[in-house]
Amino acid sequence: QAIYRKDYQQPDFFIDSVDLHFSLDEDVTLVHSRMTIRPRTENQKKPLILNGELLVLKSLKFNGHVLNATQYHVDKTHLTLPNVPAEAFELESIVEIKPQENTALTGLYQSSGNYCTQCEAEGFRRITYFLDRPDVMARYTTTIVADKSRYPVLLSNGNRVEYGELNDGRHWVKWADPFPKPSYLFALVAGNLYCHGGKFTTRSGREVRLEIWVEPQNHDQCEHALQSLQKAMRWDEERFGLEYDLDIYMIVAVGDFNMGAMENKGLNVFNAKFVLCRPDTATDDDYEGIEAVIAHEYFHNWTGNRVTCRDWFQLTLKEGLTVFRDQQFTEDMTSAAVKRIQDVRILRSAQFAEDQSPMAHPIRPESYIEMNNFYTVTVYNKGAEVIRLYQTLLGKDGFRRGMDLYFQRHDGQAVTCDDFRAAMADANQVDLTQFERWYDQAGTPVVEASGVYDATAKTYALTLRQQVPEHLQAWHIPVAVGLLGKEGQDLSLQLEETAPAKTTQVLELRELEQTFTFKNISELPIPSLLRHFSAPIKLNFSCQRQELAFLMAHDSDPFNRWEAGQQFAQQVIFDLLADWQAGKTLQLDALFSEAVLKILQDDKLDGSIKSLMLTLPTENFLGQQQAEVAVDGLFAVRQFVLKQLAEVHYAEWLAIYRANHQMPYSNSATAIACRRLKNTALHYICRLDTPETVNLAEKQFKQSDNMTDQQSALMCLVNTFSEERGQAIEYFYQQWRHNPLVLDKWFSVQATSYLPDTFDNVKALLQHQDFTLKNPNRARSLIAVFSQNQAQFHRADGLAYQLHADIVLQLNATNPQIASRFVSVFNHWRRFDANRQALMQAQLNRIIQHPNLSKDVYEVVSKSLNVK
Ligand code: ARG
Ligand code: ZN
């Protein structure tokens, strides 16, 4: 049942316009559609095959004439008309649907009693019969009829063109979207919502009304979302010359949503988590997440909507590009270095892991069973890295030229990743043929680097060698390089006589092996490789601890400064692990401890970077570097290092805490940096678990006026064996039980605890009155979060696996998309020891034998077990 990229064919029919009419009702909702359809070629004799799922067809008319049951065929997934004329015609249908029973949250469904839609990728077919594919673009008009008191607000794409009242208590609104669009961008919202309004004037003078729609009780949590939208609109004009194209832009926050948000034309639907915030309910990371997701969906208006995807294999065309755009936006709005480090952390922990799993796929997949399974970190985040490569190779201006040409050529079209690459190549007159391999080949490239310094010739020769698996070909990899002198200064680098000298050179590795020679290097340099993480690869370069400590203290590239610290920590942890496994007493490396102290005492370092530098690599990331994940050893050793650092530098941690905790709350970068640093310090301090440290955390927990500090302190307390632990958990619950997004945090914090009773607590929390699998955020807050808690989830007794599989099977019946996300943790089963492998495999076998397995879960589990 798999679909292949190579099988793509143009549609046999196009739909030019569609007029929709919804009558929303608690019992059955009626959807009336009238479409103008046209065969793609003259004289073709193809049947018309429309997609449709869970629809009850009530009537079908062809050019105004009622069709009888012999003239068409309906099955579970399609409506087929075997004989249609070779010219344009009109098809009219009425179907019944039941949004109130829709638990999968795709198509038209209800959230807190309001109606909303999610059509990407293939949800529109659950609303009406249609050619539900992105290369069929139609003009939409939408009329919504509903009870006026329960559903005072009726929204759809485009402009509101007409409205009125019926004499039975219902009212109606008609919307018209002037831009042709694929069905996945359709949206409808109806309900009792509050509007937080604003405006934006585009640089060519268009007055745009901005509307953030939320449930009335959330009226005071919208301003940051509005401001984020305004910033994004301005930034896209300045950076890419892209302006908004309608007179209204609406964002609706809903409590039940499978993903982050959706870029429907003129009417974004958002997971409330990425809209609502207030200092006392949302953390600094939440604020940043909101700004980024609002920008992401806004940026889709050009990269996704104006220019869309020809087919779903091209998903990264819009997602990789739009993630890259939102990353650049955040780099500009906050700090480029901090944002880069955060993005690389996500890439390495989640995407590199996906590359190591049976679900590994190129950013442009070759096949899928269920498209929703391919909204992955590979398509999104590695896809964004691949877009970044163009910019690294072509420069910001060259990249912009490519973007301009892309829009010039393809505005209003449904296109492919090859079209994008061609625009980049043509606008810059470069050959990007080899570059296609980034789209074709799965897996993380590995590059070995080695350097030779010739003191007499004053040259430094750097050899880069890519390890290319047998069935693959060499990638085109930009490697940004700097060389540091004895004082930590950047040396001036010259590659050819004529080329300008720079402190960072971007080397283009295209062959299996290449050597780059720098001239006039008058001292033995310390190389700083892959600066700013210039490509999504693993770079191996053997570095002495002294050198890592040196880079950690001096590298002018903040990303690599952080990276050196991470590599240093990793070396230290793996050495300790060997000792732990040999039953030796552990002792912390003095040079590492000293390097950490230098960071602690560095007054010039930005607080956010500092806090990142003081954070050890995660167990998950460390496990990925091993042939077999040493679950218990990694946990024990990492805990040991944290505790040692806490004890040895106790005075410094305390000093940092005191120096930063008086800062009054604000949303500025400086204040955020202070909170990050302070809370990192608090976490170390609390490792000691003494009455004084517990007291410090408790004071912060009770006295803070913002969620960043309160949540941090709660997290510290949850990891102690104190009496205050239980009290804080109860206090937080009472304080926030009526705010779902904050209550999610309450579940999550408990699921992240590293104490040995975490599994039992999670089991108990599943029975909590406020826990439900029906709400994706709530389910994720406990289940997904716990499944990432490596040492606790991967208990040797397998009890957590069994519980997890039970939940996957429950969700399989109600919300297959979420079930499939959750089951994916088992993808990594082969990377564990024999005992854990057997336990996970047993659960996978249990799942795959389940009757009525959804396509979503089947695809992941069958790939995981390698069944054909
Ligand atoms: N296009 C949306 C975004 O990235 C994501 C929608 C994903 N939905 C899904 N059902 N897979 O902004
Ligand atoms: Zn997106």
CB 483 within 8 A of CB 491: yes
Q: How many CB atoms lie within 10 A of CB 74?
A: 16
pTM of the model: 0.99
| Residue 211 CA to ligand 1 centre (angstroms) | 21
Sign of CA dihedral 152, 157, 160, 165: negative
Q: What's the gap in Å between 375 CA and the centre of ligand 1?
A: 7
Pair 18, 33: CB distance under 8 Å: yes
Q: How far is the CA of 760 from the centre of ligand 1 (A)?
A: 34
Establish whether 297 is a catalytic residue: yes
Interatomic CA distance for residues 460 and 517, integer angstroms: 6
How many C-beta neighbours within 10 Å does residue 471 have?
6
The CB of 263 under 6 Å from ligand 1? The reply is yes
pLDDT > 80? residue 341: yes
Does residue 315 line the site of ligand 1, with CB under 6 A?
Answer: no
Bridge-partner residues for 141, per DSSP? 19, 176
CA distance 375 to 327: 18
Q: How far apart are CA 220 and CA 343, in angstroms?
A: 30
Q: What are the CB-based long-range contacts (under 8 Å, 24+) for 731-734? A: 731/701, 731/702, 732/701
Q: How far is the CA of 185 from the centre of ligand 2 (A)?
A: 12
Burial of 530 (0-12, 13-18, 19+ CB in 10 A): buried
Q: Is 319 in the pocket of ligand 1 (CB under 6 A)?
A: yes
Please name the residues in contact with 690: beta carbons below 8 A apart, sequence gap of 6 or more. none
Residue 793 has pLDDT above 80, yes or no: yes
Distance CA 649, CA 654 (A): 9
Query: Which residue's CA lies nearest to atom 5 of ligand 1?
Result: 262
Mean pLDDT of 705-729: 97
Q: Which atom of ligand 1 is nearest to the CA of 380?
A: 4
CB distance 64 to 36 below 8 Å: no
Nearest residue to 288 via CA among 708, 682, 615: 708
- Residue 122 Cβ contacting ligand 1 at under 6 Å: no
3-state helix, strand and coil shares in percent for the chain, rounded to the nearest 5: 45, 20, 30
Residue nearest to atom 8 of ligand 1 (CA): 120
Ligand closest to 268 (CA) is: 1
Residue range 479-489: average pLDDT?
98
Measured from the alpha carbon of residue 384, the closest ligand is: 2
Q: Which of 177, 163, 183 is nearest to 246 (CA)?
A: 177
Query: For residue 311, what pLDDT band results from cuts at 50, 70 and 90?
Result: very high
Please work out whether the CB of residue 213 comes within 6 Å of at least one atom of ligand 1.
Answer: no
Which atom of ligand 1 has the smallest separation from the CA of 293?
A: 12
Q: From the CA of 371, which ligand is nearest?
A: 1
CA of 310 to the centre of ligand 1 (A): 16
Average pLDDT over residues 524-528: 98
Q: Find out whether the beta carbon of 818 lies less than 6 Å from any atom of ligand 1.
A: no
| Confidence at 388, pLDDT banded by 50, 70, 90 | very high
Share of the chain above pLDDT 90, in %: 98
Rounded average pLDDT over 746-763: 98
Residue 53 Cβ < 6 Å to ligand 1: no
Adjacency order of strands within the sheet including 73-74: 48-51, 78-81, 73-74
The sign of the CA dihedral 306, 307, 311, 316 is negative
The CA–CA distances, whole Å, from 347 to 287, 313, 536 equal: 21, 21, 8
Cβ(297) – ligand 1 distance below 6 Å: yes
The confidence score (pLDDT) of residue 379 equals: 99
For residue 306, pLDDT beyond 90: yes
Q: What is the ipTM of this complex?
A: 0.98
How far apart (Å, rounded) are the C-alpha atoms in residues 489 and 503?
10
- What is the biggest distance separating any 2 CA atoms in the chain, rounded to whole angstroms? 95
pLDDT in tens, 168-185: 999 999 999 999 999 999
Distance (Å, whole) CA 500 – CA 493: 8
From CA 544, how far away is CA 589, in angstroms rounded? 13
Relative to the CA of 297, which ligand 1 atom is closest?
12
Given this model, what pLDDT does residue 499 score? 84
Q: Within 13 Å, how many C-alpha atoms sit on residue 680's CB side?
A: 20
Task: For a ligand 1 pocket test, name from 120, 265, 308, 314 the mutation site with the most ligand atoms within 8 angstroms of its C-beta.
Answer: 120
| pLDDT tens readout for residues 417-450 | 999 999 999 999 999 999 999 999 999 999 999 9
Distance CA(13)–CA(196), nearest Å, equals 41
For residues 604-633, average pLDDT: 97
Mean pLDDT across the chain = 98
754, two tokens: 């590293």
Sorted by sequence, the CB contacts under 8 Å of residue 554 that are 6+ apart come out as 484, 488, 561
Whether ligand 1 lies within 6 angstroms of the CB of 372 is answered as yes
To test the ligand 1 pocket, which listed residue (375, 376, 377, 378) has its Cβ within 8 A of the most ligand atoms? 375
Helical spans, DSSP H, in 335-494: 336-346, 352-355, 377, 383-410, 417-428, 437-440
Per-residue pLDDT at 868 exceeds 80:
no
pLDDT of residue 498: 81
The span from the CA of 533 to the CA of 340, in Å, is: 8
The residue-averaged pLDDT of 765-787 equals 98
Which entry of 122, 211, 263, 297 is annotated as an active-site residue?
297
448, β-bridge pairs: 465, 540
14-48 per-position pLDDT tens digit = 999 999 999 999 999 999 999 999 999 998 899 99
Q: Taking CA 749 as the corner, what is the angle to CA 103 and CA 653, rounded to the nearest 5 degrees? A: 155
Given this model, what pLDDT does residue 495 score? Answer: 87
Distances 192 to 151, 153, 215 between C-alpha atoms, Å? 5, 6, 7
Ligand 2 centroid vs 426 CA: distance in angstroms? 26
**Phi and psi angles of residue 576, each rounded to the nearest 5 degrees, phi first:** -65, -35
The answer to which of 291-295, 385-389, 602-606 has the lowest mean pLDDT is 602-606
Cα-only R_g, the chain: 28
Residue 269 in contact with ligand 1 by CB distance below 6 A: no
Q: Is 865 in the pocket of ligand 1 (CB under 6 A)?
A: no
Tens of pLDDT, residues 659-709: 999 899 999 999 999 999 999 999 999 999 999 999 999 999 999 999 999
Dihedral-angle region of residue 247 (phi above 0 means left; psi in -120 to 50 means alpha; beta otherwise):
alpha
Q: What is the mean pLDDT of residues 99-109?
A: 98
Is residue 259 exposed (0-12), middle (13-18) or buried (19+ Cβ within 10 Å)? middle
Residue nearest to atom 3 of ligand 1 (CA): 262
Helices and strands in the chain, H and E counts: 29, 31
Q: Length of the chain in residues, anyone?
A: 868
Q: Encoding tokens for residue 550?
A: 């040196």
Contacts of 604 (CB under 8 A, 6+ apart): none
Nearest to 281 by CA among 636, 679, 709: 709
